[in-house]
Amino acid sequence: MIILSLPYQDRSSLLQHENADYIEYRLDYCLDPAHIDFSVFTGKHILTWRSSSKDNPFLPKMLKSKALVDLDISECKETDNLDKVILSLHLAEFNAQTIEEFLRSPVPCFALKIVFEAAYFEEILACSRLIAESGKRVIFNVNGKWAAFQRSLYRHFNSLAVYLFHFQSTYPGQLSLKDYRLIASKSIKADSAIYGIIGGAQVNASLSLRHYNQLFSGSDSHYLPIPAASPEEAISVLKWLETKFILRAFSVTSPFKRSLPQSLTHTEGIYNTLIYTKNGQIIWHNTDLISLDKSLQELEIQPEDSILIYGSGDCAEAFIPRLQCKGYKKLYLSARNPISCKRLKDIYHLPQNAPKQVKLLINASAGLSFALEPGTKLPFFESLIELPYSTIQESSLCAYAQANALPYIDGEAFFQRQFSAQMELFVNGI
The fold adopted by the segment(s) 189-285 is Rossmann fold (3.40.50)
How many other β-carbons are positioned within 10 Å of the β-carbon of residue 320?
Answer: 20
Q: Are 33 and 56 in contact (CB under 8 A)?
A: no
Q: How far apart (Å, rounded) are the C-alpha atoms in residues 132 and 173? A: 24
The β-bridge relationship of strands 357-358 and 307-310 is unpaired
Q: Are 95 and 112 in contact (CB under 8 A)?
A: no
Half-sphere exposure (CA, 13 Å, Cβ side) for 305? 20
Contacts of 158 (CB under 8 A, 6+ apart): 128, 131, 132, 138, 140
Q: What class is the 289-415 domain?
A: alpha beta
pLDDT by residue for the chain (430 residues), tens digit each? 999 999 988 777 777 777 789 999 999 888 888 888 999 999 999 999 987 666 778 888 999 999 999 998 877 765 556 889 999 999 999 999 999 999 998 778 999 999 999 999 999 999 999 999 999 999 999 999 999 999 999 999 999 999 999 888 887 778 999 999 999 988 899 989 999 999 999 999 898 999 999 999 888 999 999 999 999 999 999 999 999 999 999 999 989 999 999 999 999 999 999 999 888 789 999 999 999 999 999 999 999 999 999 999 899 999 999 999 999 999 999 998 899 999 999 999 999 988 989 999 999 987 776 655 545 567 889 999 999 887 667 788 898 899 999 999 999 999 999 999 999 998 876 4
Q: Would the CATH topology of 1-186 be identical to that of 289-415?
A: no
Q: Are 70 and 47 in contact (CB under 8 A)?
A: yes
| Per-residue pLDDT tens digits for 210-255 | 999 999 988 899 999 999 999 999 999 999 999 999 999 999 998 9
Q: Are 218 and 246 in contact (CB under 8 A)?
A: no
Nearest to 176 by CA among 151, 140, 201: 151
How many other β-carbons are positioned within 10 Å of the β-carbon of residue 392?
Answer: 6
| Cα distances (angstroms) measured from residue 176 to each of 4, 76, 169 | 9, 29, 8
Instruction: Map out the domains of the chain as residue ranges.
Output: 1-186, 189-285, 289-415
Contacts of 316 (CB under 8 A, 6+ apart): 309, 310, 333, 335, 344, 362, 364, 365
| Per-residue pLDDT tens digits for 252-305 | 998 999 999 999 999 999 999 999 988 878 999 999 999 999 999 999 999 999
For 1-186, the fitting CATH number among 1.20.5.510, 3.20.20.70, 3.40.50.1820, 3.90.1210.10 is 3.20.20.70
